Amino acid sequence: MSKSIKFCLLYRDMWQSSGKYVPRVDQLNKVAQPIIDMGCFARVETNGGGFEQINLLFGENPNKAVREWTQPFNDVGIQTQMLERALNGIRMNPVPADVRQLMFRVKKAQGTDISRSFDGLNDVRNLENSIKFANAEGMVSQAALCVTDSEVHTVEYYIDLADQLIKLGTQEICIKDMAGIGRPVSLGKIVGGIKAAHPATLIQYHGHSGPGFSVASILEVARAGADIIDVAMEPLSWGTGHADLLTVHAMLKDAGFEVPDINMKAYMQVRSLTQTFIDDFLGYYINPKNRHMNSLLIGPGLPGGMMGSLMADLENNLKSINKWMSKRDKPTLSQDELLIKLFEEVEYIWPKMGYPPLVTPYSQYVKNVALMNVMQVLKGKERWSMIDDNTWDLLIGRSGKLPGTLDDELVQLAKSTGKAFYTGVPQDLYPDALESIKADMLAQGWNLGQDNEELMEYAMHPDQYKAYKSGKAKEGFEKDLAARKAATTTSSSPATTVPSVAPTPQPSAMNIDVNGEKFLVHISYDDQPAPATTPEKESQPEKSAVNNSFSEVIAPIEGNFMLTKSTGERGIKVGDKINVGDVVGYIEAMKVYNAITTDKAGTVVEICATDGSGIDEDDIIIKLQ
């Protein structure tokens, strides 16, 4: 009798692996029944990871979305599956244990059956609570092995890791090949080794298609004993996403496996609806490059889930870099040139950072440091001159144990900046906080929600939740979407292609010196009139290190400026004495807080940057005397 293989549809992840956002709840409700009618899915991935944070970003209540999206699948017995990040819950940084436990309680009440839990370092200590909490709340605990390819991530390493997790009580194992760089034969050996020791344990394979290994990997793991395969479907399969259902189905059927039939009429309906969601607004955040497979990803090993948002973020990074280069009469970069420099830098620094598996959030941290290094080197500065606090927590052990050895250069840099290495249990660093969060929420007059789901959401994503509640999130999203729509060319057919994202703009203005007087000259393109030329004093002048006897602390990157990053921290004030190396504020960029320190000493005479507002690279943060 042939072995049966089941399928899980990654309807959430295939969006995030392609672009920045996921469908609205009304769109999800439309597509749920046709997915059910396809008749071939045992599971559907419905929520978790960045899903809820993304809902908040465009002004939608994520709890309403999860409840309405999971209900149709619950009703017909299709299991619903979420993704959670162990110590980090469903956000990018560590979460108190009581907040983590509440999350499992809420997700079970909302209709989520399975919790796929992964730790970005494969640190079993971080996964122990996830397994315990999921089992306690009646969810299926599925522990994930974050697969990557390095000298420390061997077949034996992963078989032993699975053994530890099964002994802790996890009911299932996921082979999470988040970058698709796991080598097919090795993946087969991992699955075979786990099945030999634990034949009753269900194994589910998750692999991104980016570098091109995934179809061969699926065949190898299926032959080795895998039970469920994660798949995507047109028009969002392949590229930085996942292998397509139809291809995987045909391959496994030909190999002699028993696979469920597909209702092709329903398949075409899901495909058509998905395309209408792309045409509606989601396509404006999908970079066309993410729709292509790319073997260059084998080297840096960046995951598909991150590449979706990376290409959108890279537009702003490129503008910032090219603005700096243009000011100094240096040649600008194309997006491809910047991307290759980034890939090369990731390959260089990853071993030095101790081989953290490149999965959320550590893929973002490694990518951020690599990008900062690229930017700093382009500016004639040293590598490692900007490392954000989250990345430092990773490097010094506050997030868990690194799989490899930290390079001595980074060890010495940590010591020189007064950072202490930590070897204890990471969760111990983040004490319970739910009661104080609850009190804060009630003080603002906010409802805790059904099954305390709003409390959980606020505890997980305080800044995004506040922006959602105030309406700023929706307002900002709608403004950004309108700008992207206005900038999109009309040459492509929206019925068949993803709307092109806003192109990298040509310069709209230049500073011209005429007989000693500086003017800001606006430039027009394509018959569009330019604004009137104005003296440069009406615009932000380029900052100098010293001006009018004041020393200036300049923003090294663009982002959102904040005087503090937590309620217990005191921000600088006029009159404060500042020493070399003091933190004067933070710039939130690329999903992390970058501490801004000064290489000057003096008394604060002016705070030029507005707390909570956007800031450009080279803007003045403070003036010292």
Q: What is the pLDDT of residues 377-413, one digit of tens each?
A: 888 888 998 888 889 999 999 999 999 999 999 999 9
Omega within 30 of 0 (cis) for the link into 361: yes
User: Average of pLDDT values for 37-54?
Assistant: 92
For residue 312, the model assigns a pLDDT of 62
> What is the amino acid identity at position 216?
A
What pLDDT does 548 receive? 55
How would you write 165-181 as a 3-class SS string? HHHCCCCEEEEEECCCC
In angstroms, the first-to-last Cα distance of the chain is 82
Instruction: Determine the Cα–Cα distance for residues 590 and 365; give it in Å rounded to an integer.
Output: 9
Question: 169, 117 in Cβ contact below 8 A?
Answer: no
Q: Give dist(CA 206, CA 85) in Å, integer.
A: 15
User: How sure is the predictor about 290, in pLDDT bands with cuts at 50, 70 and 90?
Assistant: confident
DSSP, res 62? H
**pLDDT number for residue 610:** 81
620 has pLDDT over 60: yes
Distances (CA, A) of 507 to 326, 480, 514: 9, 20, 20
Stronger pLDDT, 531 or 434, i.e. the higher one: 434
Taking a C-beta distance cutoff of 8 angstroms, is the pair 55, 15 a contact? no
User: Mean pLDDT over residues 595-599, rounded?
Assistant: 81
- Overall average pLDDT of the 262-281 stretch: 97
Closest-CA residue to 130 (of 85, 91, 94): 85
**pLDDT tens string 225-268:** 999 999 999 999 999 899 999 999 999 999 999 999 999 999 99
Cβ contact 345:372 at 8 Å: no
pTM higher than 0.75: yes
**Confidence grade of residue 536 (pLDDT, cut at 50, 70, 90):** very low
pLDDT in tens, 169-224: 999 999 999 989 999 999 999 999 999 999 999 999 999 998 999 999 999 999 99
Q: Is a pLDDT exceeding 60 seen at residue 324?
A: yes
Q: What is the C-alpha to C-alpha distance for residues 342 and 361, in angstroms, rounded to an integer?
A: 17
Q: Identify the CA nearest to 221 among candidates 199, 209, 206.
A: 206
Average pLDDT score over the chain: 86
- Look at residue 501 in the predicted model and tell me its pLDDT: 41
567 pLDDT exceeds 70?
no
Q: Which of the four pLDDT bands, split at 50, 70 and 90, describes residue 289?
A: confident
pLDDT tens profile 336-381: 888 888 889 989 999 999 999 888 888 888 888 988 898 888 888 8
Percent of the residues in the chain that have a pLDDT greater than 70, as a whole number? 87
Q: How far is C-alpha 536 from the geometric centre of its chain's CA atoms?
A: 39
Residue with tokens 């933070």: 586
Alpha carbon 289 to chain centroid distance?
Answer: 17
